[in-house]
C-alpha cells in the first residue's frame, strides 16, 4: 500500500488543479474526500473552470471518484477547507 498524500488545502474563492497540486498524472482515476466543514465544488475540465461550469458538490466527509482518462480535476470552496486526494 502506498503512503497517503498530504491533504490539499483549498483556499477561499480559488480553483485548485488537483493533479498539479498532488503530482498525480492527469487522467489517473482519483478519489477525493472532503475533510473540512465547507462544501467543495469538484469539476472535470482541462482548463480552470468558471463558477458557471458543471460540477459536483462534496459536503463534509463525502467521497467522489472520477473516471480514468478524465481531462482534469479542479476543486473550489467559497470558504477555505481541506480535501484528501489519492489514486483510486
pLDDT digits (tens, 9 = 90+) for 32-70: 999 999 999 999 999 999 989 999 999 999 999 999 999
* Cα distance between residue 20 and residue 31, in whole Å: 15
Say whether pLDDT at 8 is over 60.
yes
Residue 22: strand, helix, or coil: helix
Query: Beta 56-58 vs 74-76: how paired, if at all?
Result: unpaired
Which pLDDT score is estimated for 1?
52
Q: Phi and psi of 21, rounded to 5°?
A: -70, -35
DSSP H or E stretch at residue 76: strand 74-76
In angstroms, rounded to a whole number, what is the distance separating the alpha carbons of residues 84 and 7? 5
pLDDT at 74 exceeding the cut of 60: yes
Question: How many residues are given for the chain?
Answer: 88
Amino acid at each position: 500500500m502506498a503512503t497517503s498524500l498530504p491533504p490539499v488545502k483549498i483556499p477561499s474563492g480559488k480553483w485548485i488543479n488537483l493533479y498539479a497540486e498532488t503530482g498525480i498524472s492527469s487522467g489517473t482515476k482519483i478519489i477525493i474526500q472532503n475533510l473540512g466543514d465547507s462544501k467543495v465544488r469538484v469539476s472535470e475540465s482541462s482548463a480552470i473552470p468558471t463558477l458557471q461550469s458543471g460540477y459536483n458538490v462534496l459536503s463534509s466527509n463525502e467521497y467522489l471518484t472520477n473516471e480514468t482518462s478524465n481531462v482534469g480535476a479542479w476543486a473550489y470552496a467559497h470558504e477555505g477547507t481541506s480535501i484528501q486526494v489519492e489514486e483510486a
